């Protein structure tokens, strides 16, 4: 059985080595790269013959962080599947990594079994989210008919709000951009939550990404 080739990109050398050792115990996986920042990783990829298939990407790194590196990988090496592996659990970071092209998002305190499952599922199916993101995933049917029905329910101003929600603007700044009061923006948000059956801004952004609205 051919092993899944993995790259680790993390500026904490002890952490990256520990992750490599943990993965190496699993006969299904092979660590083919271990880099300490995104810039070094991208440079090495240019000359790499034994290319990785799944990349475990830290976010806060010097020279080129995980979000920047993932965005560049999505453009240049779209076949590589990135899983964010980080201590960052705030909403804006999750949104930024998803928009950059990450296929999964894990916190570093996860169990080895969850990490192994994530690698397998991302490699085979292309996407994996633990509870940190699945709580915000859309709970709508993926059939085209259902998508059209939901899109038809959205008003023009709500669509405008969704697009702005994909940015790093705060709700107050979105209100200023739309020339309305913060209370009106709260109304747009709550209406969209109900229509899309989501509970957080991450859910709105996932909807927008899926339907190429941002």
Q: What confidence tens digit (pLDDT) does each residue in 168-206 have?
A: 899 999 999 999 999 999 999 999 999 888 889 998 988
Q: How confident is the model at residue 209 (pLDDT cuts 50, 70, 90)?
A: confident
Q: How confident is the model at residue 137 (pLDDT cuts 50, 70, 90)?
A: very low
Per-residue pLDDT at 143: 42
Per-residue pLDDT at 132: 58
More confident residue, 135 or 30: 30
Per-residue pLDDT at 145: 54
Q: By CB neighbour count within 10 A (0-12 exposed, 13-18 middle, 19+ buried), where does 126 fall?
A: exposed
- Give the range among 4-18, 57-71, 97-111, 172-186 with minimum mean pLDDT: 97-111
Per-residue pLDDT at 149: 64
Global pTM value: 0.67
The encoded tokens of residue 54 equal 């799944």
Q: Please, what's the largest Cα pairwise distance for the chain? A: 60
Query: What would the mean pLDDT of 25-34 be, rounded to a whole number?
Result: 94
CA–CA distances in Å: residue 74 to residues 11, 23, 112, 116, 174: 21, 24, 26, 22, 28
Residue 139 has pLDDT above 60, yes or no: no
Residue 87 has pLDDT above 60, yes or no: yes
CA–CA distances in Å: residue 18 to residues 21, 22, 81: 5, 6, 21
Q: How confident is the model at residue 93 (pLDDT cuts 50, 70, 90)?
A: confident
User: What stretch of H or E contains 133?
Assistant: helix 131-134
92: closest CA among 123, 136, 62? 136
Other C-beta atoms lying within 10 Å of the C-beta of residue 36: 18
Say which DSSP state 138 is in. -
């Amino acid at each position: 059985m051919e092993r899944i080739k993995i790259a680790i990109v993390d500026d904490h050398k002890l952490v990256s080595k520990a992750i490599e050792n943990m993965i190496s115990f699993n006969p299904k996986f092979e660590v083919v790269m271990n880099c300490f920042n995104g810039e070094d990783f991208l440079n090495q990829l240019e000359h790499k013959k034994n290319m990785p298939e799944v990349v475990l990407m830290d976010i806060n790194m010097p020279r080129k962080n995980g979000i920047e590196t993932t965005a560049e990988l999505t453009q240049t090496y779209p076949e590589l599947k990135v899983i964010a592996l980080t201590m960052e659990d705030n909403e804006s970071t999750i949104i930024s990594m998803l928009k950059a092209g990450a296929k999964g998002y894990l916190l570093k305190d996860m169990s080895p079994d969850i990490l192994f499952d994530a690698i397998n599922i991302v490699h085979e199916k292309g996407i994996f989210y633990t509870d940190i993101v699945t709580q915000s995933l859309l709970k709508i049917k993926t059939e085209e008919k259902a998508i059209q029905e939901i899109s038809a329910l959205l008003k023009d101003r709500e669509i405008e709000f969704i697009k702005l929600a994909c940015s790093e603007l705060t709700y107050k700044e979105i209100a200023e951009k739309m020339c309305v009061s913060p209370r009106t923006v709260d109304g747009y948000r709550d209406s969209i939550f109900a229509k899309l059956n989501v509970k957080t801004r991450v859910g709105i952004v996932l909807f927008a990404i899926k339907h190429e609205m941002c």
